[in-house]
Amino acid sequence: MPDFVQRVSAKNELVPEWASQEVSTGTTIMAVEYDGGVVIGADSRTTTGAYIANRVTDKLTQIHERIYCCRSGSAADTQAIADVVTYQLGFHSIELDEPPLVETAANLFKASCYRYREELTAGILVAGWDKRKGGQVYCVPIGGMLVRQPVSVGGSGSTYIYGFMDSNYKPGMTKDKCMELTATALSLAMERDGSSGGVVRLASISEEGVERRVILGNELPRFSTH
């Protein structure tokens, strides 16, 4: 945890503990590459301590026309970084007079996350489509590493679905199979992780554009244990 994070004093008994804690997107996020694009997904819960500040959060933030990022960690930190990168990438794209590369966006995220690694708590998945390499997923976890992966999960709920992901992801899946895989994985994580929940937000990014979907709580896939 960064040292500089100050907590507004909770010494006042009238103010509950959760009111003085930082807002966090304890989360489950996921991104999958397929031939021709990417599928990204996230839950929708934002918490301050044990209180849910927003139960319909949109953690899939648009950085450019065909580049999105999935945010996990501190809500304030990730919103601020995403805004900075959106500005930088927009400026760069205008200079280039061309749609930007996903790798460029990922490197901009890495630059901010690595430079201010002591002060930030941000785990980000950058995903999108560009003309050069097609659909790409880049993982920028806490600390500021950058690595490209065909499938990536992040957030506090991701620990519960590594096994599911490792055994169910196969290279060469179609877009719909990827959507189904993401929705199922997120539902499993949301079942087990207290900091993840709400609705499942999905998006698919390809040359044709961006398609967004929401799966409400009662429409989520159900499993045999309950």
Partner 1 sequence: MLHSLKPSDPQAGGFCFENSRRNTVLESSLSELGYKAPNARKTGTTITGIVFKDGVILGADTRATDDMVVVDKNCLKIHYIAPSIYCCGAGVAADADVTTQIMASNVELHMLNTGRPPLIAMVIRQLKQMLFRYQGNIGASLIVGGIDVTGPQLYSVFPHGSYDKLPFLALGSGAAAAISVLEDRFKANMELEEAKQLVRDAIAAGIFCDLGSGSNVDLCVITEAGVEQLRSYDVPEVKGKREGQYRYKPGTTAVLTKTVTPLTLDVVDESVKVMDTE
Give the footprint of partner 1 on this chain (CB under 8 A): 3-9, 11-16, 19-20, 22-23, 46, 48, 51, 53-54, 56-57, 74-77, 79-80, 83-84, 88, 91, 111-112, 115-116, 119-120
Beta carbon of residue 193, minimum distance to partner 1 (angstroms, whole number): 20
| 164's tokens | 């599911």
Among residues 120 and 183, whose Cβ is nearest to partner 1?
120
Among residues 28 and 44, whose Cβ is nearest to partner 1?
44
Contact by Cβ (8 Å): 207, 36? yes
Among residues 48 and 158, whose Cβ is nearest to partner 1?
48
What DSSP designation does 102 have?
Answer: H
Beta carbon of residue 119, minimum distance to partner 1 (angstroms, whole number): 6
Strands, DSSP E only, in 2-143? 23-25, 29-34, 37-42, 46-48, 51-54, 60-64, 67-74, 122-130, 134-140
Find the catalytic residue in 25, 27, 46, 104: 27
Beta carbon of residue 76, minimum distance to partner 1 (angstroms, whole number): 4
Cβ atoms < 10 Å from Cβ of 199? 22
Beta carbon of residue 29, minimum distance to partner 1 (angstroms, whole number): 16
| Cα separation values, 66 from 93, 95, 134, Å | 12, 18, 11
Beta carbon of residue 59, minimum distance to partner 1 (angstroms, whole number): 11
Among residues 75 and 202, whose Cβ is nearest to partner 1?
75
Cβ atoms < 10 Å from Cβ of 168? 15
Active site residue 27: yes
Q: How far apart are CA 39 and CA 179, in angstroms?
A: 6
What DSSP designation does 142 have?
Answer: T
Amino acid letter, 20? S
Among residues 45 and 66, whose Cβ is nearest to partner 1?
45
Active site residues: 27
